[in-house]
Amino acid sequence: MPSITVYFLVEENIHRAAKLLLYLNSRLARNLIKLWAWTARGGYYRHHAYHMGHLPIPNLAGIWRFIDGMHLQGNSDLNELARRIASEYKDHLERELIEALGISEEDYRRLVEHGEWLNEYVAEAITPEGGVGETEE
């Protein structure tokens, strides 16, 4: 049997769950974690509680008010909601992250570029059929 690690979060408040999903899928959070996490086979990352605990949690007042104002229900598709917010409000979310964390736009850009560079060979492993292929490390 293969060794499989599964991580999940349980958040019963749908508004807090949407905020957490949006933040953890932000370019900033993903790339900070790439800098700290252990690399697993295929260039994927192991997100241990220790690394996740160091992730700064900013107060993104504008985006949070926007999410709180939505009429979400327990059956809402949070993944679709996070994708829509991330695509429609990407620039606003990034500006709020930069401001909330007190970093410069240049530092933000460098951090994101470095994190994307660290994981670029995983993108090459995606097959034309949409599946994941094998890559050599």
Q: What is the pTM of this model?
A: 0.65
Residue 106 CB partners (closer than 8 Å, separation 6+): none
| 48-87: pLDDT as tens digits | 777 778 888 777 888 888 888 887 877 778 888 888 887 8
| 84-128: pLDDT as tens digits | 887 888 888 888 888 888 889 999 999 888 888 876 654 444 444
Cα first-last separation, the chain? 23
In contact, 108 and 98? CB cutoff 8 Å: yes
Radius of gyration of the chain (CA): 16
